[in-house]
A and B are shown apart, each in its own frame.
Chain A
């Protein structure tokens, strides 16, 4: 066994996904699955998937899962976790799902210190519906519903959800990561692991925001999309750990 350096994660089903070339949902799925394998929690983990590009993630994770209405994953996860407090429950949500239509649910799940883990994929655009403006769309970013660029005068500014939730006492671990290069991917995996461990220790709410590229809806090649993320998203959404109650102690 010691000869195996790379294997398909147990927590991931070995089938092709529907994601576009260069989309980073696959990377994020893989990191979550690797963490679930390493923590040996596959048999006791229940996922809640959103409405958006990852709406079919329940087909890709080899786990019990529920598919929630748009934005309601934290409420659905709350219901599951209250019934099975000894199990591990996580939500996997995109920026429109979590920071627009589902803002109330995520804020209150965090405020309650709900013992769930949230993986938030921020690619600054609505992917599934064809590239419309998201609550995390950058000022001047062109989308299908901001065809002249997001105008701050009429549609305001992108929401920094990690910073917002970090102000809540019930949130015990909040980090923003990126999967744009191998070093950041390692940090992302470490953060995801910490977020699951925070739940397993029964501390409270944990979220990892993952900055990700959407080449198709950004209208860029995968290589250029990675560069666009680094040049535009990283300055707007600084990476880092915004809350870590374990370190405070």
Chain B
């Protein structure tokens, strides 16, 4: 256990990426993730790595495609409008099965939106975003510490499954300072015999390609991807629960919102209301079974997001609409307070008790 450093969530991702063996970063400045690109600009060259500020988000993600296809551990980062621009490249990366890490420090949208925190890119992150049947693995940290830990995890699972991994944070997590401990992370070299490194003595060219003009061949590619996604859904689901065993009402929230929900839960418990918290850590794959199990004995669910309701659809699907699912959202870059959530909790208890 090393000493703790006080740093912003954005910087924690940068430091963790370097610890994880990331030596290539391609990005474009955008608020509220600029601390991350700046961290990489300063620290990556010191490790012998390459930092490059691209001419656009589009160019940055395609540089990631090239570097990942060449066998490197590589990362890019942006915020909502910039991540929209990356979607074409992400689709190609998923199709070519290239491992890489993409960070989205979400801000309010749609359009240019604002520069304050948001969680309205949930659909984009978890349901595709770009064209075609594909998935990124999506992880949602809720602290600077988890931004570090999940970054290292992200690089490992990206290589394990040859799949893009998205770290879905928000402007609050990216900007706020918290103590972070960095653990030794002995790097396990990953063999990438498929990478385009120059043919050398291999005797046979490696091609990174996403074009399949024969319908049967393209369908086979899709089936292969789906089989991989099935394995990921079985093995890579992460979540956290708090006081869900005896809870009558289960709060579901991820990222920064889960921290506020946690405080509201404690206020409710103090007031004698049996409230629990379910926090998805992977948003894709979504912890469907775990959530269904957690709500078995509860009478209602409250989903809380910094959007007008996106993850709430997955909550309803996961529990097959077996319980009433309430929603509390905030947009525009604003964050609800724990008191706001507590008041909603009280309101739901009254409604469920028929008061």
A residues near B, CB below 8 A? 42-46, 48, 55-56, 58-59, 61-69, 72, 75-84, 87-88, 104-105, 107-108
Q: How many residues of B contact A (CB 8 A)?
A: 38
Contact across chains for A63 and B211 when beta carbons are under 8 A apart: no
A-B contact pairs, 6 of them (CB 8 A): A45-B199, A72-B62, A75-B66, A79-B64, A79-B70, A105-B62
Query: Given A69-B62, A79-B24, A83-B66, list of 15 further CB < 8 A pairs?
Result: A43-B198, A43-B200, A44-B199, A64-B206, A65-B196, A65-B206, A68-B62, A69-B65, A75-B54, A78-B52, A79-B64, A83-B24, A83-B67, A84-B198, A104-B55
CA distance A206 to B243 in the complex (A): 63
Q: Which residues does chain A contribute within 8 Å of B63, judged by CB atoms?
A: 75-76, 78-79, 82
Query: Which A residue's beta carbon lies closest to that of B60?
Result: A75
A83 in complex: contacting residue of B54, B72, B211, CB < 8 Å: B72
Contact across chains for B52 and A82 when beta carbons are under 8 A apart: yes
* Residue of A62, A84, A87 with highest tally of chain B CB at under 10 A: A84
B204-235 interface code vs A (CB 8 A; 1 in, 0 out) = 01111111000000000000000000000000
Contact across chains for B62 and A75 when beta carbons are under 8 A apart: yes
Q: Which residues does chain B contribute within 8 Å of A84, judged by CB atoms?
A: 70, 197-198
B67 in complex: contacting residue of A68, A72, A79, CB < 8 Å: A79
Contact across chains for A63 and B69 when beta carbons are under 8 A apart: no
B residues near A, CB below 8 A? 24, 26, 50, 52, 54-56, 58-60, 62-72, 74, 88-89, 92, 196-201, 205-211
Query: Which A residue's beta carbon lies closest to that of B26?
Result: A79
CB distance from B170 to the nearest CB of A (A): 28
Q: A75-B54, A76-B65 are in contact. Are A69 and B88 (CB under 8 A)?
A: yes
Q: Which residues does chain A contribute within 8 Å of B69, judged by CB atoms?
A: 66, 76, 79-80
Contact across chains for A79 and B210 when beta carbons are under 8 A apart: no
Contact across chains for B67 and A82 when beta carbons are under 8 A apart: yes
A75 in complex: contacting residue of B50, B59, B199, B207, CB < 8 Å: B59
Q: Which residues does chain B contribute within 8 Å of A62, judged by CB atoms?
A: 199, 205
CB distance from A85 to the nearest CB of B (A): 9
